[in-house]
Chain A
Amino acid sequence: MRYHTVIIGAGMSGLAAGIRLAYFEKPVCILERHTTIGGLNSFYRLRGRNYDVGLHAVTNYAEPGTRKGPLAKLLKQLRLRWDDFDLSPQNGSSVVFPGHRIEFKNDFAAFFDDVCREFPKQADRFRSLVSHIHKYDETSLSNEPASARSVLSDFLDDTVLIDMLFCPLMFYGSATPHDMDFSQFCIMFKSIFEQGFARPFKGVRQILKKLTRHYKELGGELKLRQGVREIMVEDGRTTGVILDDGTEIEAEHVLSSAGHVETLGILNGEWRMENGEDRVLNSQFFIPPSGEISFNEAIFVLDCQPRELGHDETIVFYNDAEQFHYEPPTEPLDLRSGIICSPNNFRYPDGDQLDEGYIRITSLADPDYWMSLPDDEYYPAKEEWGRRMVESAVQHIPDFRDHIIETDIFTPRTIKKFTGHLKGAVYGAPRKVLDGTTGIDNLYLCGTDQGFLGIIGAMLSGITMANNHLLR
């Protein structure tokens, strides 16, 4: 059979694009190499417990019934109802630097006041920056790349405040070391500080299962354990894909969430770009440098609720160094900064609470170190560095070490295994392809390397690419 569209990857963006196509009766098939859906944002079961990977929180939160903003737009486009994602808002989060602390909790006015209280001399400048951000159309697909650091230093002259604003936004979405593209900065600023965090009681499962069920009910096909080995190209136009087992699947269009450089790496014949090499046989291509920002995350299960230990914050972004360093570290992990997230600390309906306590700690990792370790050193290194991550984190939250009953840790190597991103680059390539084109006709990108960020952004990426390229 010949499909209208084959989608590579059953993550948030691929599923959302698939729903759009299936809804408008296009024969569509999503191919996923792994045994389960989700990609970067997925879930697993280990030794009798459910875990989430990727998602700490859904950004872009809006109250039920809100008719504006990215979440509302997404639900309309997917023909879903607000209740389908079952989102509960966060308790409150903070950015903690030496001598400074800024809090935020899905209430922009309170965040704004907090910044002005903490940095009184910057108040007027911060107000101007916010008004500049509000006027900027960050979703325009024709924005030229611009350095957010340079825009911010035009407005603010306190480098600590600049770094404190960057810290959560970079941690949750920057593929670029030290800096962000200004459009991406605005997307993240609005989605985190203005709209804010929320989480479904059942975690990322809730969203992925809802998307998958909806997609299948609309007639979309989903094939797991079917990796794409090659994208077929004839005369500069894609004609379909070849699976790992050699099966050919014909399609009029291919939409890939595999990443930009990763997608160009599986074009067939003369079109192929060798993985990791900065060259391409056909010079019409822009050659994307691959990303190198990756993380280790340690997930701890506790014998009590974090609140019982005196910790009720949802997410703490901390940095202990004089300057915030967002880059691949020279050590295996950068212990000077990190993210501490507790999925218990959301305002679930009727005071409902997860059965067990969870603390997740995330640190910047050196992908090369974690990729190159032989197995007999890899597992002990995960444990040892996990111990050091906690040591650094308990300077910012109550010491929970006596309450740990289970630990699981992932590294850049795990991320590469499940997403296919070279170097386990969580946020993909530094330079995004906003219009999703690839230089090959009828082959388009969606997801991380197209450039809308976060869970909601990922889904909007799939929707936008489907609308712009596949449903016209």
Chain B
Amino acid sequence: MAPPDIRQVVLDILERIAPDEDLSDLDDSVAFRDQMELDSMDFLDIVMELRKQYRVQIPEDEYEHLITMDSTVDYLTPKLADVPAGV
């Protein structure tokens, strides 16, 4: 999967977790937390959704990479490199 696919994956997950949020003007360089109502329960859900859908394991001490869309995509790129897009 290439970075644009990964961005879409994360967007889909956010959409699922917070269906009432408008994600159309999400700024990729600004923390999710500053643009959406996300608490620690929600971050845990992002991690669990990634595990559920792509079997990606994210250890607790690496959650800090999931701050902005940019940092999340950078972090996930090597982990999802071998996963075909659209799965």
Contact = CB atoms under 8 A, between A and B. Distances in A.
Interface of A: 24-25, 65, 67-68, 72-73, 75-77, 79, 81-82, 467, 471
B85 interface: no
Contacts of B39: 73
6 contacts: A67-B21, A67-B37, A75-B20, A77-B41, A79-B16, A82-B20
B16 A24 contact: no
Task: Return the 8 tightest CB-CB contacts between A and B, nearest first.
Answer: A67-B37, A68-B37, A76-B18, A81-B19, A76-B17, A65-B20, A24-B48, A24-B52
B42 interface: yes
Given A24-B52, A67-B36, A72-B37, A77 B19 contact: no
Contacts of B20: 65, 67, 72, 75, 81-82
A77 B44 CA distance: 10
Contacts of B37: 67-68, 72
From A65, A76, A77, residue with most partner B Cβ within 10 Å: A76
Interface of B: 16-21, 36-37, 39, 41-42, 44-45, 48, 52
A471 B39 CA distance: 17
A73 B20 CA distance: 11
Contacts of A24: 48, 52
A68 B18 CA distance: 11
B16 A471 contact: no
A73 B16 contact: no
Given A65-B20, A67-B20, A67-B21, A77 B36 contact: no
B31 to A, nearest CB: 16
A25 B42 contact: no
Contacts of B45: 76-77
A79 B41 contact: no
Contact of A25 (B16, B17, B18, B52): B52
A467 B39 CA distance: 14
A79 to B, nearest CB: 6
B56 to A, nearest CB: 14
Contacts of A471: 48
A280 B79 CA distance: 51
A467 B40 CA distance: 11
Given A79-B16, A79-B17, A73 B41 contact: yes
Contacts of A467: 41, 44
A448 to B, nearest CB: 21
B34 to A, nearest CB: 13
A149 B41 CA distance: 32
A82 B19 CA distance: 9
Contacts of B18: 67, 76
Contacts of A76: 17-18, 41-42, 45
B21 to A, nearest CB: 7
A471 B49 CA distance: 12
Nearest to A23: B52
Nearest to A75: B20
Contacts of A77: 41, 45
